[in-house]
């Protein structure tokens, strides 16, 4: 199951869509897309404005989602995610071939996770989502304890960070071309190239090397190294990301681990592919 072409789906980015041209099912799903790390509760008036519907219609949508446990009312006109989400998460944990393969393989890599974190990252629309983590919950850098922000369920831009770029570089050529045409500004801002030629050259260099290293944008004391998770058909499924302290010693040691990460990434890709077949 190769990664599919990224397509933005969040309701915020489709707020200008004419409600008359959007199905009721799509509007219901767009309500769920309103939840973000910065928006843990939604209000009726805001939802109605985003969807372009009246309050009575909006209340009906919210009630339908609440009746199915996807939302929970937290006060007058306020809603949060409901308990059904937890139940679905449990089912996902048991049924996702890539996640299950990642868990099994990553559990055997504890010996390299002292003061490091190892994460499995997958493509999710136009973002990269962290789905599993082992190792440290923080990184110690010269006495400073720095928390890992890329925990399970965290989504990050497709063009920034080693975990994202390892996936990006291994997408199909038509996907890469489509992304460039749609996201030239973000690509330039990420340092991957000011034009198509330089962007294509940067991704080619990542593929040839077999891994990518970056320094944290939010925290320059964090070093990241990622390798792609490819299935037996050489299609990218995910990335395996190792986070460590950004020191000269760690830079050398982490780079030496790249070959082992590639071996384990290939094992994850193979197990997931055959389990899904």
DSSP calls for 25-91 = HHHHHHHHHT-BTTBS-EEHHHHHHHHT--HHHHHHHHHHHHHTTSEEEEETTEEEE-HHHHHHHHH
Q: Return the pLDDT at 20.
A: 52
Q: Return the pLDDT at 196.
A: 97
Mean pLDDT value of segment 5-10: 39
Give percent of the chain with pLDDT exceeding 70: 92
pLDDT, tens digit (0-9, with 9 covering 90-100), for 118-176: 999 999 888 999 999 999 888 998 888 888 877 788 888 999 999 999 999 999 999 99
Among left, alpha and beta (phi > 0; psi -120 to 50; other), residue 103 is alpha
More confidently predicted of 37 and 116: 116
Q: Are 72 and 49 a contacting pair, CB within 8 Å? A: no
More confidently predicted of 91 and 18: 91
Q: Return the pLDDT at 112.
A: 94
Band (2; pLDDT cuts 50, 70, 90): low
Band (63; pLDDT cuts 50, 70, 90): very high
Give percent of the chain with pLDDT exceeding 90: 76
Q: Return the pLDDT at 277.
A: 74
Angle between helices 55-67 and 24-33 (to 10 degrees): 80
**Domain 96-276 = CATH 3.40.50.300:** no
pLDDT, tens digit (0-9, with 9 covering 90-100), for 238-267: 999 999 999 999 999 999 999 999 999 999
pLDDT at 12 over 50: no
CATH topology for 11-86?
Arc Repressor Mutant, subunit A (1.10.10)
Q: How far apart are CA 50 and CA 48, in angstroms?
A: 6
Delimit the domains of the chain by residue range: 11-86, 96-276
Q: Are 223 and 251 a contacting pair, CB within 8 Å? A: yes
Residue 74: both structure tokens together: 């937290």
Q: Return the pLDDT at 7.
A: 41
Q: Supply the pTM of this predicted model.
A: 0.84
Band (6; pLDDT cuts 50, 70, 90): very low
Q: Return the pLDDT at 126.
A: 85
Residue 139: both structure tokens together: 């990184």
pLDDT at 11 over 60: no
Q: How far apart are CA 212 and CA 206, in angstroms?
A: 6
pLDDT, tens digit (0-9, with 9 covering 90-100), for 17-49: 444 567 888 889 999 999 988 999 999 999 999
């Amino acid at each position: 199951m190769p990664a599919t072409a990224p397509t933005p789906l969040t309701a915020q980015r489709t707020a200008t869509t004419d409600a008359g041209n959007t199905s009721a099912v799509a509007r219901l799903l767009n309500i769920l897309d309103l939840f973000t790390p910065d928006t843990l509760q939604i209000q009726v008036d805001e939802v109605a404005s985003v969807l372009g519907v009246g309050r009575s219609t909006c209340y009906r949508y919210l009630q339908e989602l609440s009746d199915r446990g996807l939302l929970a009312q937290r006060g007058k006109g306020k809603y949060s995610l409901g308990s059904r989400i937890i139940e679905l998460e449990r089912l996902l944990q048991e049924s996702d071939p890539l996640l299950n393969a990642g868990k099994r393989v990553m559990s055997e890599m504890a010996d390299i996770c002292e003061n490091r974190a190892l994460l499995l990252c997958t493509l999710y629309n136009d973002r990269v989502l962290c789905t599993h983590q082992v190792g440290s919950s923080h990184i110690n850098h010269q006495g400073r304890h720095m928390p890992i922000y890329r925990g399970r369920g965290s989504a990050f831009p497709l063009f920034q960070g080693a975990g994202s770029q390892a996936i990006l570089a291994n997408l199909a050529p038509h996907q890469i071309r489509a992304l460039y045409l749609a996201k030239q500004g973000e690509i330039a801002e990420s340092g991957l190239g000011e034009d198509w030629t330089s962007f294509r050259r940067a991704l080619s260099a990542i593929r040839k090397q077999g891994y990518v290293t970056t320094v944290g944008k939010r925290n320059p004391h964090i070093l990241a190294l990622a390798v792609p998770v490819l299935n037996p058909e050489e299609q990218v499924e995910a990335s395996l990301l190792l986070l460590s302290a950004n020191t000269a010693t760690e830079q050398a040691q982490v780079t030496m681990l790249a070959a082992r990460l590639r071996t384990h990434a290939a094992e994850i890709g193979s197990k997931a592919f055959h389990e899904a077949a």
